[in-house]
Structure 1
Amino acid sequence: MTDFPLTVARIAALRDRMEQTGTDLVAVGPSSHMAYLAGVHPHGDERPVMLLISQSYAGFLMPALNSAAARKDTDLPFHCWRDDQGPDSALAELLEACGATGANLSVVLDETMRTDFSLRLLDAMDSPRRRFTEDTVALLRASKDEAEFKAIKDAHLVNDTAVKAAFAALKEGVTEAEIVELIKSEYAALGATLEFCSVCFGASGAFPHHTSGASKLERDTAVLIDTGCRLNGYPSDMTRCGYFGKPEEGYEEVFAVVECAVKAAIAAAKPGVRASVIDKAARDVITDAGYGDRFLHRTGHGLGIDIHEPPYIAANSDVVLAQGNVFSIEPGIYLDGKFGIRLEEIVILRQDGAEIFSEMPRDMVRVG
């Protein structure tokens, strides 16, 4: 069941942001934004579903087909519509209840909502001014409370156990896909579900988003495992690297560079620092070592209900980080035809710096 007091608190916090940003109406679809604000996870299809929030009212546009299932999760009012009626009349009633019938109102749209839902809402209003959620819902979600911290921590402890088991299971002839299945089974045994998993043998690690397949492990081969589970609504995410057999020439040198980049980024991660500063701290280490053109992506991404969400730790991000922000630090070096090394931690910003969720060391794992 939904924690209704939590919903009240989060909507109250959103209304404070709306007042500060001159926002008249916030509209979210069946997404993680809706789950965050109201604890509701309605079935998503072509039938318009929206939660509209103004200073005076909050309610759902809800297909009658889904209302009974959704009702157990919220006590907010529903404006229901049937397939033989269409949603326009119910949407007009909801807008009137929100006091959102005037001209030139400032509307925040859920950037993950279906385009036809957004356009239907905008077409029902009189010349609205629209933007997305960066300074309202997304900003609130970026600052995690202690309950969210515990959920994310618990997911990472499960992840630690699964990744350790995966490295321990490495043997000649095992496939990437078989290690993925082992990780999935470890998650299930601990009450979690697979969020994603990329197991990379040898040169496959040079592809940051490799899809694991039938490649068989041979001796003296690099191994990269990037995986995450979901537990109690929140995910984990971690990358560890190692070697099955004897490391090839240059591997340990590159590993040491990436580890130094992780440490530099963690040291730079403090409340009040711009995201670009953290990216630069990691990137400078890798560039100074001569691998700048082999660091192919941003340094990190936020993590919460979604495994990728704001804030993004990138060279072009001027976002000022705040206490409670949760994000990844994951620099990497990718050498085509040889191997890739990425070391990833998820951290939360405390008053005095970054706290790491995982308790598994980043040391190079040696097997066989």
Structure 2
Amino acid sequence: MGEYSSRQKRVLDTANNAGIDATMIAAHGHLRYLTGYHGGGGYFGPFVLILTPGHAPVYLAREYEVQSVRDESCVGELDGYAHLHEFASVCADRLRKLGLHNKRAGMELGCWNLARADVMALQAELLELEVVDANKIIARVSAVTADVELKAMRDAMAVNELAIRTFQSALREGVSEMEIAELINERVSALGASPVILVSFGFGDRNELPHERPSAHQLSFNEPAMIEVGGVKDAYVGALVRSAVLGRHAETEAVHALAEEAVEAAIVAARPGATAGEFDCAVRGVVERSGRADGFRHRTGYQVEASWNDSLEPEAKDIIEKGMAFDTPIILFSENGCLFGCSEKILATERGGEPLSTTSHELLKA
């Protein structure tokens, strides 16, 4: 409870500095970060946490899910709505009770879990309500990891490294993607950990498919193999990309060497005081100087906490602070369209970036 109360207070302080009277949080990851409830019931319609100074937090949820929210969250005051069209009226009634019907309400307008129609319906109920974008508030509050969060990240990474070691040791001619995926889950389960998330897994030309799932495809000699896997602990994911070549494969070996250089630049660039844009420039510049800029088709990385927030993108102005952590998956397209690369989860420290993984991001030649 103490950690959640501390997080909520930081949100209130940040919102107050922005001139916001009430913060209305709808992103599922942010709801979990602030209350403990996983947000799974929110597939039906918006689940919203209302934070305002001088009043206990209020959770708006579907009536069918209210008991789950009560049991799994730290919030004691809940309002329920039975049907989707009732959300706006129930929310408006609560804002009136709180004296917020004619105040400035910060809503996460860039959130996937809040539709424009929901916002418009609420504004139709409360004509004097001023809605402003609070999309960045939770991201900024959650960006610096607390000790309990860092421990969860390290625990998740330990599970992830078991998965990576299993992947690497099982590579042989004729083994299928599914066989290795099953072996990974067996060993993770034996550890008593939650199942890992196989974000992407492919052998040979199946690496031309982003976020491909394991199949019966078998590994052949002189073929590449890449895995992006996430160990999980308390909703924190230790995502990691590792690659290998069985035999030789000049095209992907060259791409991977460039990805390694870019990841190493990311470790150096993850220093407090730099902007996210400067971080992106340092990493992306490695690829651009190689003449392969068209092979880098995604963001440089993103914040790591329970909700995976802000991106590290060109010209981003967010300031990197001590204690922030980033995933930096550098997956590049080769000249023939094969995706290949590596990553690190990096913690920003006073000494520079600290990789949380102990497994090498260098290419494994099996």
State the TM-score, normalized to the length of structure 1: 0.88
Q: Which moved more, 1:39-48 or 1:257-266?
A: 39-48
The 1:339–1:18 alpha-carbon spacing in structure 2 relative to 1, beyond 3 Å, is: closer
Per-residue CA deviation, residues 19-55 of structure 1 (Å, 9 max, x unaligned), is 1101111112361111111112352243553211112
CA drift at 1:186: 3.0
CA drift at 1:155: 0.3
CA drift at 1:149: 0.6
Distance 1:74 1:321 in 2: 30
Alignment-derived partner of residue 329 in structure 2: 330
Partner-residue secondary structure (3-state), 2:31: helix
- Consecutive unaligned residues in structure 2, runs of 5 or more: none
Alignment-derived partner of residue 18 in structure 2: 21
Number of residue pairs matched by the alignment: 360
Alignment-derived partner of residue 97 in structure 2: 97
Map 1:35-184; keep pairs closer than 5 Å: 35-42=32-39, 43-46=41-44, 48-57=46-55, 58-72=57-71, 73-82=73-82, 86-87=86-87, 90-102=90-102, 105-109=104-108, 111-115=111-115, 116-184=117-185
The 1:173–1:151 alpha-carbon spacing in structure 2 relative to 1, beyond 3 Å, is: same
Sequence identity percentage: 23
The 1:130–1:82 alpha-carbon spacing in structure 2 relative to 1, beyond 3 Å, is: closer
Alignment-derived partner of residue 229 in structure 2: 227
Distance 2:238 2:84 in 1: 43
Q: Which moved more, 1:156-165 or 1:226-235?
A: 226-235
Partner-residue secondary structure (3-state), 1:210: coil
Distance 1:92 1:143 in 2: 33
Distance 1:287 1:273 in 2: 20
The 1:220–1:147 alpha-carbon spacing in structure 2 relative to 1, beyond 3 Å, is: same
Q: Which moved more, 1:212-221 or 1:144-153?
A: 212-221
CA drift at 1:358: 1.0
Distance 2:85 2:295 in 1: 56
Distance 2:225 2:188 in 1: 20
Alignment-derived partner of residue 291 in structure 2: 290
Partner-residue secondary structure (3-state), 2:179: helix
The 1:140–1:84 alpha-carbon spacing in structure 2 relative to 1, beyond 3 Å, is: closer
The 1:176–1:132 alpha-carbon spacing in structure 2 relative to 1, beyond 3 Å, is: farther
Distance 1:23 1:117 in 2: 20
- Consecutive unaligned residues in structure 1, runs of 5 or more: none
The 1:16–1:159 alpha-carbon spacing in structure 2 relative to 1, beyond 3 Å, is: same
Distance 1:293 1:30 in 2: 33
Alignment-derived partner of residue 188 in structure 1: 189
State the TM-score, normalized to the length of structure 2: 0.89
Map 1:294-305; keep pairs closer than 5 Å: 294-305=295-306
Q: Which moved more, 1:86-95 or 1:30-39?
A: 86-95
The 1:170–1:351 alpha-carbon spacing in structure 2 relative to 1, beyond 3 Å, is: same
